[in-house]
Structure 1
Amino acid sequence: MSLLNYKTSNPAFSPGVWKGYSSSSNKMSLSGVIFKTLFCLILVGISTWYVWDLVHKGIDVKWYTSLGLLAAIVLSILTSYKHKWAKFTAPLYALSKGFFLGGFSAYAELQFEGLPMKAVGVTIVTFFIMLILYKLKIINVTSRFRSVIISATVTIMIIYLISWILSFFGISMKFIYGTSWFAIGFNIIAAVVASLALLLDFDFIDRKINRVPKYMEWVATWGLLVTLIWLYIEVLRLMKKFAIRF
């Protein structure tokens, strides 16, 4: 199979993002991706803490979270099409997403003390479990496996997009965001798919080490952030639903 036809559920690792970079002399390294990912996670933490602190001071952070989410979407689009800008857009994406996560997490903390930190812990543990499963080849990333995860991811994102659009018309999709067993089941599926998407990302990055230019480490970092943040959001939503129901 041509590497340029290799697929993943994460848009950050779509073929178009990586096409035509094999001739560079300064190549992407695993250590570079790890360092940049840790750096961006620190940025996420800083902006998250800032908005979190505002919430606990009684300040309305609606605009922080909304603009943070909007900025993250715009920066993701820029990163997808302007790869050499990734050294700027990836850190800015991390900061923007942190603004969203700060409000999202702080409100969860106000409802259920300690819940966000538990979700962070679950996300970290899940990340390393997926990494071990990938490295030990306990789960093989086959063509069929990729197709299933890609299809599931696209379906989930379409459902979220539709629910977001409907919210502007005052229509709430309680069968997704409520605490019914169906809503909990949907959340569990979404969290599992987000976890398995990490395997596809690991595999794709592994195939690109020493094959693409150094600046693409920032694109890889952005891609991992997309999946990790999605996983954290799903885990926190699921834990909130269980806390409310039980």
Structure 2
Amino acid sequence: MIRSGNPALKESTFLDLGTGAVVSRNAGAMTLNGTVNRTGILLLLCVLTATYTWNTALTPTGELAPGALLYILGGAIGGFILAMVTIFKKTWAPVTAPLYALAEGLFLGAISAMYEVKFNGIVLQAVLLTFGTLFALLMAYRSGWIKATENFKLGVVAATGGIALIYLATIVLGFFNINIPYIHESGLIGIAFSLFVVVVAALNLVLDFDFIETGVEQNAPKYMEWYAAFGLMVTLVWLYIEFLRLLSKLQSRN
């Protein structure tokens, strides 16, 4: 049984959509190098649009431009729609995954600018922490220090689901001007909550590594390289946003 807290990566993901079985290596199967290359392409596309919105969202005086909110909303909504399309139409991943990366870049560049205006230097810290966490966990996974056992997967998936419910409740209650106390504030409880979310997001990377490795071993279809790269990107975006939230809470106490 393969489990991942990432909704883009679940047990049936690597099955051929037409027959319900994995394809043979001769038919053009997923490889680890191919997945790494596709991930690099998605990251590059994301950085390109993020750089554009970063430069557009910040005025020459270092203030947030009036149109920054449009990039945040447009990128978030566009990214969500493309993510849903990719999840339900996996064979479209070679097209929708790059489009998702471009949309997320618009969102990330603008929201990063918003945080940077309030907390100088926070974006560089969040970027370094995100990729530092990625490479540290990848090394730990490859060396066998961290193993995606069945209990480990169950725990991470359960924690991820709980966080998703809390965020959903926050959004719904926000429509009625009701705020969940403490966890979104800069107090000790809020910092502890953000730290917990960062840890859970990071542990999802381990599940993603395990899932991708399993897909390669099972000779998943070639287009799944794009889909697996998309799934990994979803986790990285989440991790980066959570680092921004955690760092903003910490800096608010200074």
- Alpha carbons of structure 1 residues 68 and 151: separation in structure 2 relative to 1, 3 Å: same
User: How far has the Cα of 1:243 moved from its partner?
Assistant: 0.7
Aligned match of 1:22: 22
User: How far has the Cα of 1:60 moved from its partner?
Assistant: 2.2
Deviations 1:55-92 (A, max 9, x none): 21223221211121111111111111111110111011
Conservation of the 8 A alpha-carbon contact between 1:166 and 1:172: yes
Q: Secondary structure of the residue that 1:240 maps to in structure 2? A: helix
Correspondence 1:241 to 2:249? yes
Conservation of the 8 A alpha-carbon contact between 1:75 and 1:92: yes
Correspondence 1:10 to 2:17? no
Aligned match of 1:47: 49
**Aligned 1:191-230 pairs, distance under 5 A:** 191-210=198-217, 211-230=219-238
Which structure: greater helix fraction?
1
Q: Secondary structure of the residue that 1:68 maps to in structure 2? A: helix
Aligned match of 2:133: 126
Aligned match of 2:62: none
Conservation of the 8 A alpha-carbon contact between 2:93 and 2:227: yes
Q: Name the aligned partner's letter for residue 16 of structure 1.
A: S
Aligned match of 1:68: 75
Q: CA–CA distance in 1 between the matches of 2:237 and 2:21?
A: 27
Q: Name the aligned partner's letter for residue 27 of structure 1.
A: A
Between 161-170 and 15-24, report the one with greater CA deviation: 15-24
**Aligned 1:62-211 pairs, distance under 5 A:** 62-210=69-217, 211=219
Identity %: 38
Unaligned runs of 5+ in 1: none
Conservation of the 8 A alpha-carbon contact between 1:17 and 1:81: no
Unaligned runs of 5+ in 2: 60-64
TM-score (norm 1): 0.94
Deviations 1:195-224 (A, max 9, x none): 111111101100111511111111101100
Conservation of the 8 A alpha-carbon contact between 1:131 and 1:199: yes
Q: Secondary structure of the residue that 1:107 maps to in structure 2? A: helix
Q: CA–CA distance in 1 between the matches of 2:230 and 2:99?
A: 10
Q: CA–CA distance in 2 between the matches of 1:176 and 1:220?
A: 32
Q: CA–CA distance in 2 between the matches of 1:161 and 1:21?
A: 35
User: How far has the Cα of 1:162 moved from its partner?
Assistant: 1.4
Q: CA–CA distance in 2 between the matches of 1:18 and 1:93?
A: 20
